[in-house]
Amino acid sequence: MLQLRSVVMSNERRLIVDWHGLKRMGWPFSRAHTWRMMQPEILRSSGSRRKGTFREWVEPNPDIFPSCKKLNGFRNSHPVWRMVDVLAYFEAHGLAVTQDSQAL
């Protein structure tokens, strides 16, 4: 009975992925840029402060990366993403997923 149960458990797919899993899947961006991509609004700017033509404005983010969740309530808890959302984002944007993503 135990052997059958362990075989069934080994065929299941992962439900969540952490930062290292994202990188193994082929995510090309840094942590800071990933956090910026999760924001619903983008801070834009143009011009020069020196010339007095500088201005800033906020635009809605047209392409939001799936937001992460934290498994614990403390500040330094690791962020995790739902695997289904990440794979859908990769597929929608034509990012190649490495073959190792099945083993994650």
Residue-number span of the structural domain to which 33 is assigned? 13-103
**What is residue 7's predicted lDDT score, i.e. its pLDDT?**
47
Q: Does 2 map to a domain? A: no
Q: Which residues contact 58 (CB under 8 A, 6 or more apart)?
A: 41, 42, 43, 44
- In this structure, what token pair is assigned to residue 75? 């500040």
Q: Which residues contact 3 (CB under 8 A, 6 or more apart)?
A: none
Q: Does 1 map to a domain? A: no
Q: Does 5 map to a domain? A: no
Q: How confident is the prediction along the chain (104 residues), in pLDDT tens digits per residue?
A: 445 554 455 556 778 999 999 999 889 999 999 999 999 999 999 999 899 999 999 999 999 999 999 988 888 899 999 999 999 999 898 888 766 555 45
Total-model pTM: 0.72
**What is residue 29's predicted lDDT score, i.e. its pLDDT?**
92
Q: Does 7 map to a domain? A: no
Number of domains in the chain: 1
- Sign of the dihedral defined by the CA atoms of residues 70, 11, 99, 91, in that order: negative
Q: Does 79 map to a domain? A: yes
Q: Does 73 map to a domain? A: yes
Q: Does 20 map to a domain? A: yes
Phi-psi region of 12 (alpha: psi -120 to 50; beta: other; left: phi over 0): beta
Q: Does 78 map to a domain? A: yes
